[in-house]
Amino acid sequence: MSESGSTRSRPWLTVSAGVALFLLSAVQQWPSAFRYDAAVYWSGSVALFTGDSTYDRGWLELRGFLTPFVYAPAALVERLFAGAGGPAVLVENALLVAVAGVVLLPGIARTVGGPRTQGPLVTWLCAGLSWLVLGRFAPYPLMDLPAVVLFLTVLRLALVRSRWGVLVLAGVAAGVTVNLRPAYLIPVGAVVVGVVVLHRSRAVLFLVGAVLGSLPQVVFNVARGAAPSLMPAGTPGLMSLQASYASYVVRYDTIIDTSGPPQQFYCDPSMAHAVAGHPVTSTGQLAKALLTNLPESVAFMLKKVGAALAWSSSTPYSTAAAVERYDLALPIVLITVIGAFGLVLAARRREGLLLAGSGLAVCLSLMTSATETRFALPLVLLGIVGCAVTVGLPATRLRSTRLLVAAAAVVVLGLAFAAWGVADALPPGPAGAAQCATVR
């Protein structure tokens, strides 16, 4: 029996993988109260059913208009059954984890990897790695998990060549993804380029869908008397703050379960010294600071990507740097690097390169932002796709000495830049360039 025939005749393997992934995600302990970003998103969702101002409670001056609706089902449960919101969020997120792990990731891998990736092994591999990567996000109403599931949906639909309506839906999902997490703007831009290569003139359908997906934010802005922008009205101020931090901060984490300050900054003293007297306040100034401080800025940007992959068992949150254990750094780097090689070697080269290009775009977004570990989520999930593709590659392609040496070298470099990136930590609390410049 062929691999694809085997998969079709045994759907229970996929169902059982999905059930297992859902249960593993749903049996975790939910927090007694949401804090920081999670509290803001949750307050916006709850306000939909309490009569409070969703705009104020959900900080919609800075957050996308659609963000309160993501956890509206769980918020409705909280409204009907006080105290049930926490487990409802967990169940909602567990469903998202299961969809990502047994539907989207295996589907993308099979589209890119060809007939050799049609067996149940791919489904179970994606499910297992998805638990490792996504499971810890399930207890919190953050936008990272919904946004990355939507981004995977964009990729899954964009790779379909037969139906024009699918491209429109892919574009709608892309517009909503950017609304939930503007950090996906660069990766979605890379997908647009890939769609043009794959679909040529039909790529306009994707763009039409993207406009439709962005339209609610435009209408919301106009209704409130703001400019008809694709982004929330307060985005320019937020971008200015992000650009300032991005010029010298390697990584930022939020410390959970602490009575002290929740901010944990890791910085680059060289870049902090360079910008301490000339504060960066725009994307253009950030680009200038990076270009005028070569080669230090190259190492700085690589440290950002490496540090974003230095996960701990508490990700998406963290502990103070003095006691943090980056115990997941090795598996996360391995997944990402092996997956990158798998995508480059994919049987269907153009589709594989579309995904690899999306991964590079995620790296670019990490390099130009005040990076948190959770920002690397799409990069690691693309790595899972690549790992699944690697399973289906002919053994002869994987026995190349040059390939194995190159992969090992990239893993070592990734771990080295991760360690370097978190080497200069500030004490918990707010940070500034002048303070960072004196770390050493």
The pLDDT assigned to 386 comes to 93
Lowest mean pLDDT among 50-64, 85-99, 348-362, 416-430: 348-362
pTM listed for this prediction: 0.93
What digits encode the pLDDT tens for the residues 244-298?
Answer: 899 999 999 999 877 788 999 999 999 999 888 888 888 888 999 899 988 989 9
Question: Are 55 and 217 spatial neighbours (Cβ–Cβ below 8 Å)?
Answer: no
The pLDDT assigned to 15 comes to 86
What whole-number distance in Å separates Cα of residue 212 and Cα of residue 206? Answer: 10
Q: Using alpha carbons only, what angle is made at residue 136 by residues 328 and 359, rounded to the nearest 5 degrees?
A: 65
What whole-number distance in Å separates Cα of residue 312 and Cα of residue 325? Answer: 6
The two structure tokens encoding residue 93 = 């997120």
What whole-number distance in Å separates Cα of residue 422 and Cα of residue 432? Answer: 17
98 or 276: whose pLDDT is higher?
98
Model confidence at 401, pLDDT cuts 50, 70, 90, reads confident
45 or 396: whose pLDDT is higher?
45
Smallest Cα–Cα separation from 305: which of 329, 271, 341? 329
Cis amide prior to 295 (ω within 30 degrees): yes
The structure tokens 């410390």 sit at 255
Q: How large is the average pLDDT for residues 368-390? A: 93
> In sequence order, what are the residues at sequence separation of 6 or more whose Cβ sits closer than 8 angstroms to the Cβ of residue 348?
111, 112, 113, 114
Model confidence at 351, pLDDT cuts 50, 70, 90, reads confident
The two structure tokens encoding residue 341 = 């090689």
Q: Is the pLDDT of residue 5 over 70?
A: no
Percent of the chain at pLDDT > 70 equals 97
The pLDDT assigned to 433 comes to 85
What whole-number distance in Å separates Cα of residue 52 and Cα of residue 166? Answer: 37
Smallest Cα–Cα separation from 155: which of 202, 190, 120, 118? 190
Model confidence at 162, pLDDT cuts 50, 70, 90, reads low
**Helix, strand, or coil (residue 249):** strand
Q: Is the pLDDT of residue 3 over 60?
A: no
Mean per-residue pLDDT of the chain: 90
CA 411 → CA 87, 333, 406, distances in Å? 38, 7, 9
Q: Is the pLDDT of residue 392 over 50?
A: yes
CA 30 → CA 26, 94, 141, 369, distances in Å? 9, 12, 11, 30
Please report which helix (H) or strand (E) contains residue 121, including its range.
Answer: helix 120-134
What whole-number distance in Å separates Cα of residue 344 and Cα of residue 393? Answer: 11
What whole-number distance in Å separates Cα of residue 296 and Cα of residue 288? Answer: 13
The pLDDT assigned to 206 comes to 93
Q: Is the pLDDT of residue 86 over 60?
A: yes
Smallest Cα–Cα separation from 382: which of 125, 152, 185, 187? 152
The pLDDT assigned to 198 comes to 86
The pLDDT assigned to 10 comes to 66
What whole-number distance in Å separates Cα of residue 11 and Cα of residue 433? Answer: 55
What digits encode the pLDDT tens for the residues 6-22?
Answer: 444 467 778 888 899 99
Model confidence at 347, pLDDT cuts 50, 70, 90, reads low
Q: Is the pLDDT of residue 128 over 70?
A: yes
Q: Is the pLDDT of residue 302 over 80?
A: yes
Q: What are phi and psi of 151, to 5 degrees?
A: -65, -40
Q: How large is the average pLDDT for residues 378-393? A: 92
The pLDDT assigned to 117 comes to 81
Model confidence at 4, pLDDT cuts 50, 70, 90, reads very low
The pLDDT assigned to 115 comes to 78
The pLDDT assigned to 109 comes to 93
Residue type, 270: S
